[in-house]
Homo-oligomer: A and B are copies of this chain.
Amino acid sequence: MKRIGVLTSGGDAPGMNAAIRAVVRTAIYHGFEVMGVERGYHGLLDNMMFPMNSRSVSEILQRGGTILKTARCEAFNSEEGIQRAVEVIKSRGIDSMVIIGGDGSFRGARDLDDAGIPTIAIPGTIDNDLGYTDLTIGFDTAITTVMESVSKLRDTSSSHERMFVVEVMGRNCGDIALFAGIISGAEEVIVPEMPFSVKEVAERVNIGVDGGKSHYIILVAEGAVDPYAFTEELEELTKINTRLAVIGHLQRGGSPTATDRLLATRMGARAVEELRIGNSGVAIGLKGNVLTTKSIDEALAVRDRLSMELYRLAEILAR
């Protein structure tokens, strides 16, 4: 009899619940048991877990966040932390783990697997900053939230003939800014991966204004620039009334979109299927329409790159 433990770790992402649901129901379908671990690795060390059945995951498909809660855990990043985790896991009769989270969580998953607990990693992070997969769970919902926010800002931007600088998440990865920029029709997108010059931005704004544009939306990834200084400088250079809007934690919440629900459901089910056939130490990914597996180490080693097709597209469409 297999008993699978499942936990969510790191920043929460919409669709994590859909993944949990798929893990639980697929496991039960195959006759396995499931233990839900609370508060990520932190809860694992503290032995906080409970048995889950099909009803435990009723009505969670559409809910943002994670019913298992999540936390960051320093203690886990040590030899003792991992040993303690392995003890807890074994003491509860768990023989394999599914970890849902971002790159930090993946490292924990790899360590558990290395320590002898067959473990599967599922990419749950709104940042889409894992290069080995086309898409991470939560990203589509996050860019949808930004898209809806920009739509509201555009109303007032247009009425007041103002410019808005909109700061979105993304310390090292500009995907939220880039994708959300394209689907929102933003006039400029500033990402950490690409150089930019405030002066050139201001020049393009001025050309647009001469061409009759009455409002401007500039999307800025948090890792690309200090948004306060940028806003001030841009206002000075263009003489256009400019405001800063910080989308912030809204990006983490919300009912997952169709795309995220489907992705999370497929990945959750696949994680269990992998364990079932004896595979472990792998990360589930999406390449195109197809689910893939790759060793967690290899997955972590793939550098995340900005799509040049999309970056160029953003430039062309803003004209």
Contact = CB atoms under 8 A, between A and B. Distances in A.
B156 A65 contact: yes
A155 B252 contact: yes
A179 B258 CA distance: 9
Contacts of A199: none
Given A246-B248, A288-B134, A289-B288, A12 B155 contact: yes
Interface string A143-177: 11101010111111011110010000000000000
17 contacts: A12-B156, A12-B159, A25-B316, A29-B316, A29-B319, A64-B156, A66-B159, A144-B258, A152-B250, A154-B253, A156-B253, A183-B262, A265-B313, A265-B317, A269-B317, A288-B288, A288-B289
Interface stretch (A55-63, A189-197, A276-284, A293-301): A55-63
A70 interface: yes
A102 B214 CA distance: 24
Contacts of A316: 25-26, 29, 269
Copies of this chain: 4
A249 B258 contact: no
A257 B144 contact: yes
Interface in A11-63: 12, 14, 16, 21-22, 25-26, 28-29, 39, 54-55, 61-63
Contacts of A12: 155-156, 159-160
